[in-house]
Amino acid sequence: MSRAQIWALVSGVGGFGALVAATTSNEWKVTTRASSVITATWVYQGLWMNCAGNALGSFHCRPHFTIFKVAGYIQACRGLMIAAVSLGFFGSIFALFGMKCTKVGGSDKAKAKIACLAGIVFILSGLCSMTGCSLYANKITTEFFDPLFIEQKYELGAALFIGWAGASLCIIGGVIFCFSISDNNKTPRYAYNGATSVMSSRTKYHGGEDFKTTNPSKQFDKNAYV
């Protein structure tokens, strides 16, 4: 099994796990925490819930009660992240079938095609996640630096960075899987001429013996005794 496929599998599966963590996280955007430790309260929101907490350690979360009243960019990010997680799951399955160490998947040529398919799926998963996180971050930064925006302003949450990291890992793993086809196509071809060389040497050896054994017999013909 090639090391490139091992690194690709680790990168792809690790990126898939990061995408799952980012999608289910509630810290996509957070408010700036107050300077006072006693009265410090903050709000953080995700794709599925809105949460509020304070410095005493208590927090409360409530889900988005309706789909139609959710902002359009949140719905778009939901769809992109769900697509990214789904593609990452199928990419992990295809990657396991395309590994050289597994006994399923058919011949090496078929495994190479499956590995290439896994790489393409991982790349699409990373692009979906990268697009969703970037769209959400663009909305946050636009509202934060807009002087006419008077509502609560938020900052980038930890889930966005986890999503970007997972997307990068998926893309890297997918690229490595796509380039691993060249390693699978390089089948070693050995020109083994040992058997023919041994046979030819034996033939020469036996021929020499025949020559040596037959030549002395020619010396002792009937003319030699006359």
Higher pLDDT, 192 or 53: 53
Average of per-residue pLDDT values in the chain: 78
pLDDT-derived band of residue 40, with 50, 70 and 90 as boundaries? low
Positive or negative CA dihedral for 203, 205, 209, 215?
Answer: positive
- 3-24 and 158-185 are packed helices; what angle lies between their axes, rounded to 10 degrees? 160
- Cα gap 62→81, rounded to integer Å: 20
Averaged over 181-202, what is the pLDDT? 50
Burial class (CB in 10 A: 0-12, 13-18, 19+), 194: exposed
Which tokens belong to 128? Answer: 């979906």
Which tokens belong to 55? Answer: 């410095």
Most confident residue range from 3-12, 73-82, 214-223: 73-82
Higher pLDDT, 94 or 40: 94
Averaged over 35-61, what is the pLDDT? 75
Q: Indicate if the pLDDT at residue 196 is higher than 90.
A: no
What are the residue boundaries of the structural domains of the chain, listed by start?
3-26+71-185
Does domain 3-26+71-185 fall into CATH 1.20.140.150? yes
Q: Which residue has the tokens 């997918």?
A: 174
Tell me the pTM. Answer: 0.74
pLDDT-derived band of residue 23, with 50, 70 and 90 as boundaries? very high
In angstroms, how far is the first alpha carbon of the chain from the final one?
Answer: 79
Q: pLDDT tens digit string along 79-130?
A: 999 999 999 999 999 988 888 777 766 677 888 888 889 999 999 999 999 9
